[in-house]
Amino acid sequence: MVSSLMEAYGRKRSCIRELFEFGRTLDPDLVMDFSLGNPSVRPPQAVLDALSELGKKDVHGYTVAPGSMEVRKAVCRHLNSIGKAHYEPSGIIMTCGAAAALCICMKALAIDSSTQFLAQAPYFAEYECFARGCGARFAAAEADLESFQINFPALEALIGPSTQALVLNSPNNPSGAILSESTLRRLAQLLERRSAELGHRIYIISDEPYREIVYDGASMPHIADWYDSTIVCYSYSKSFSLPGDRIGYIAVSDSVDDKDSLMASLAGSARAMGYVCAPSLLQAMVARCADVKPDISSYRENRDLLLGSLEAMGYECVMPSGAFYLFIKSPYSSAKAFSDEAKKHGLLVVPSDDFGCKGFLRISYCVDRKVIERSLPVFEKLLKQD
Amino acid sequence: MVSSLMEAYGRKRSCIRELFEFGRTLDPDLVMDFSLGNPSVRPPQAVLDALSELGKKDVHGYTVAPGSMEVRKAVCRHLNSIGKAHYEPSGIIMTCGAAAALCICMKALAIDSSTQFLAQAPYFAEYECFARGCGARFAAAEADLESFQINFPALEALIGPSTQALVLNSPNNPSGAILSESTLRRLAQLLERRSAELGHRIYIISDEPYREIVYDGASMPHIADWYDSTIVCYSYSKSFSLPGDRIGYIAVSDSVDDKDSLMASLAGSARAMGYVCAPSLLQAMVARCADVKPDISSYRENRDLLLGSLEAMGYECVMPSGAFYLFIKSPYSSAKAFSDEAKKHGLLVVPSDDFGCKGFLRISYCVDRKVIERSLPVFEKLLKQD
């Protein structure tokens, strides 16, 4: 006798995972696997050196629950250098990556079974699982599918008395889009107004694992600079290429109204889910490397090759300003049908249905350049088959 | 507007944490801090070498959610060598320590708000928080306070239609007691009978972080060898002295009736709480070091010194067969009053109230031997003050 919801979440694999696991059954020299966001770039040398050196040292004991003071100070220094919002160590909780951070936030804000979390589609498929996992409801407003900015009427229509937070992800997985300053300004106005009308604060949970993966000097506005009640969830998975090691944080700026109560509920939520502290060795590494910049040149080269080639063939692509995903319009009426056809050729791309919108395909280009080169004739062929 | 339960868990610190944090405000050369179970022994050299060497290598990517096949095989080899229950990699989920493992189990088994988890007092204080955190109820039956074995009438009286699992911890924190074979045989009979009567399986969740910390060749019966429906939760925190690094596992043997459904619900529960995978670097270390034995000689020396000295003074002590805690009867009628008085002398010991029973004090002796030596005159003085 087990929880039927948990059993269902355990049995129903995401389409991404299914494709990835299918890919593992194919000849590794032939498969063209664009399914997962597993960074292809090595971690920065400074990160590898820190892990190797610290591994031998006395950094394996419990830290205080939110993380060592040293690492929280390093995170604050970094955050205070890149945006206008101001952070103190008391506003930081180190976490086992961004997934943990998101779950901790949602559980802290889940009042009862009417609590609602909102997102903008396309969104990272696990948001719904995280929201329902803490007993809350989940709904998503489809983005403007030309600009991938917020469709404000669609979003406003979903906000109700039980709306606790809007989860945003910019740069976005899967579209690669960055929410612009004008979008954020308008969003802040909407949320301020609706919060006042509802008599409670609607938070933004800003899921920012791709914050440093931004191309062509694109402006990357920080959501917390535009809306005070923002809870930042960050992961070093993508920027430091160590997604398996699980290290990230929750950051709440000094401008949040009820910071004390919010931090207490976040601490309690982490505690009640067994998140004793973020891995100490990884905390010690971040304390030393918080300002290390990722080398995203190979992602940029991959993006340029893929985008240029697919557009030349006639694919309609969303211009990715950040992250390492190319989102293309499905040339077939069903994205799933295109993905299935591509699969027959060993080309693995994810239909957008799992991200809450129809008609697109996600191509994770954090892969070896040769994989992209091998895939181009297949993309060409698939377009002609249509 | 936040969850009041989560806020309460964030604000109410455990007595242990309060004492520990008070201790940090004192002169480190004068404080005698027996509050926390932070191992004083260095991690085994093989573990430090593995972490240092692997830190530089390509072991930082996502593993599959339950953990790499390599580490799950290593865990099975070890488990299959120490007990009779048989494990396959399909029954293993690597976790961020035992706290994560316990929370994942409870959430997987929490059907609705009537679900009840049982424990035996004295118990690790967080059990209640974990159970209530996943929306379930929690109750504890007091152990026989002479032998610290199970008080069967008290336990049976608590079992009802919504009882899903009994959480056991042997060797026990805080008493140091090990549940004997005859206790486990009788327990298995009770749970088999009550499961049959209720029409559903009552699980044992066996919390085993102290499994390797056993003294004087004491026999350490494995609960899973005596009761099929046992879910083992293990952590390397204590045996490898790396509590901050958060690595452990859930193990379900092949003898569990509904293994497939149970494993799916555990996977779903981990997923819904954001436990993407256990830290990859730590998984890689365990794959290499699963059979490394901890050196517990200094704990044994500490235990002998403390136990011998306190008994000679006239303290009544529970004989600790395992773990690194000494549980003594409070010489004052209130354990809290004794702890408060001790605190005035810089001696930090935890009253048993937090562990669900009254009248005892827990002394964590995983400390430098000098701390014990300095504490003895204070213990002597406190007894005379009574």
pTM score: 0.97
Query: Is it the case that residue B79 has pLDDT exceeding 90?
Result: yes
Residue indicated by tokens 């109230």: B353
DSSP string, A27-39: -TTT-EE------
Kindly state whether residues B193 and B318 are assigned to the same domain: no
Among B3, B45, B52, CA closest to B281:
B52
Rounded to whole angstroms, the Cα distance separating B265 from B104 reads 9
pLDDT at B28: 87
pLDDT at B380: 97
Residues 202-241 on B with a CB inside 8 Å of A are 241
Kindly state whether residues A157 and A122 are assigned to the same domain: yes
Burial of B45 per CB tally in 10 Å (0-12, 13-18, 19+): exposed
A108, A248 in Cβ contact below 8 A?
A: no
**Which string of b and e fits B162-193 if b means at least 16 CB within 10 Å?**
bbbbbbbbbbbbbbbbbbbeebbeebbebbee
Residue indicated by tokens 């890689």: B284
Kindly state whether residues B39 and B55 are assigned to the same domain: no
Residue indicated by tokens 């936040």: B2
Domain assignment of residue A307, yes or no: yes
pLDDT at B214: 95
- Chain B: nearest CA to A157, how far in angstroms? 22
Domain C-terminal end among B238, B271, B289: B289
Kindly state whether residues B307 and B231 are assigned to the same domain: no
Kindly state whether residues B272 and B329 are assigned to the same domain: no
Domain assignment of residue A49, yes or no: no
How far is residue A322 from each of residues A52, A142, A204, A293, A306, measured CA to CA in Å? 30, 20, 20, 15, 14
pLDDT at B80: 97
Range of the domain at A380: 4-43+295-385
pLDDT at B17: 80
Domain assignment of residue A48, yes or no: no
Q: How many domains does chain A have?
A: 2
pLDDT tens, residue order, chain A (386 aa):
999 999 999 998 778 888 888 888 899 889 999 998 788 899 999 999 999 999 999 999 999 999 999 999 999 999 999 999 999 999 999 999 999 999 999 999 999 999 999 999 999 989 999 999 999 999 999 999 999 999 999 999 999 999 999 999 999 999 999 999 999 999 999 999 999 999 999 999 999 999 999 998 878 999 999 999 999 999 999 999 999 999 999 999 999 989 999 999 999 999 999 999 999 999 999 999 999 999 999 999 999 999 999 999 999 999 999 999 999 999 999 999 999 999 999 999 999 998 999 999 999 999 999 999 999 999 999 998 75
Query: B280 in contact with A at a CB cutoff of 8 Å?
Result: yes
pLDDT at B18: 84
SS3 B248: strand
A93, A250 in Cβ contact below 8 A?
A: yes
Q: Which of the four pLDDT bands, split at 50, 70 and 90, describes residue B386?
A: low
- Chain B: nearest CA to A368, how far in angstroms? 15
Domain assignment of residue A200, yes or no: yes
Beta bridge partners of A291: none
Kindly state whether residues B143 and B106 are assigned to the same domain: yes
> What average pLDDT does chain B have?
95
Q: Is B3–A97 a contact, with Cβ atoms under 8 angstroms apart?
A: no
B286, A253 in Cβ contact below 8 A?
A: no
**Which string of b and e fits B372-382 if b means at least 16 CB within 10 Å?**
bebbbeebbeb
Kindly state whether residues A77 and A220 are assigned to the same domain: yes
Q: Could you tell me the CATH number of the domain that includes residue B319?
A: 3.90.1150.10
Kindly state whether residues B226 and B306 are assigned to the same domain: no
Locate the chain A residue with the closest alpha carbon to B111: A3
Q: Cα B97 to chain center, whole Å?
A: 10
Domain assignment of residue A51, yes or no: no
Q: Residue ranges of the alpha helices (H) in A3-96?
A: 4-11, 15-23, 45-55, 69-82
pLDDT at B45: 97
Q: Is B272–A53 a contact, with Cβ atoms under 8 angstroms apart?
A: no
Residues 160-199 on A with a CB inside 8 Å of B are 164
Q: Is A7–B265 a contact, with Cβ atoms under 8 angstroms apart?
A: yes
Q: Is A130–B276 a contact, with Cβ atoms under 8 angstroms apart?
A: no
pLDDT at B373: 97
Query: A38 in contact with B at a CB cutoff of 8 Å?
Result: yes
Q: What tens digit of pLDDT does each residue of B16-75 get?
A: 888 888 888 899 889 999 998 788 899 999 999 999 999 999 999 999 999 999 999 999
Residues from chain B that touch A103, judged by Cβ atoms under 8 A, are 272-274
Kindly state whether residues B353 and B240 are assigned to the same domain: no
| Sheet of strand B325-329: strand arrangement | B317-318, B325-329, B360-364, B350-351
pLDDT at A349: 97
Q: Could you tell me the CATH number of the domain that includes residue A200?
A: 3.40.640.10
Kindly state whether residues B38 and B54 are assigned to the same domain: no
DSSP string, B339-377: HHHHHHTTEE-EEGGGGT-SSEEEEE--S-HHHHHHHHH
Query: A56 in contact with B at a CB cutoff of 8 Å?
Result: yes
Between B110, B245, B265, which is nearest A60 by CB?
B245
Domain assignment of residue A114, yes or no: yes
**Which string of b and e fits B308-342 if b means at least 16 CB within 10 Å?**
ebbeeeebebbbbbbbbbbbbebbbeebbebbebb
Domain C-terminal end among B260, B289, B318: B289
Kindly state whether residues B244 and B364 are assigned to the same domain: no
Residue indicated by tokens 């429906």: B229
Q: Average of pLDDT values for B187-214?
A: 97
Rounded to whole angstroms, the Cα distance separating B129 from B114 reads 16
Q: Is B52–A48 a contact, with Cβ atoms under 8 angstroms apart?
A: no
Query: Is it the case that residue B263 has pLDDT exceeding 80?
Result: yes
Residue indicated by tokens 């945003």: A168
**DSSP label of B278:** S
Kindly state whether residues A38 and A64 are assigned to the same domain: no
**Two tokens at B41?**
């022994």
Domain assignment of residue A236, yes or no: yes
DSSP string, B54-120: HHTSS--SPPPTT--HHHHHHHHHHHHHHSSS---GGGEEEESHHHHHHHHHHHHH--STT-EEEEE
Neighbours of B257 (CB within 10 A): 11
Locate the chain A residue with the closest alpha carbon to B129: A272
pLDDT at B24: 82
Domain C-terminal end among A235, A263, A289: A289
pLDDT at A15: 83
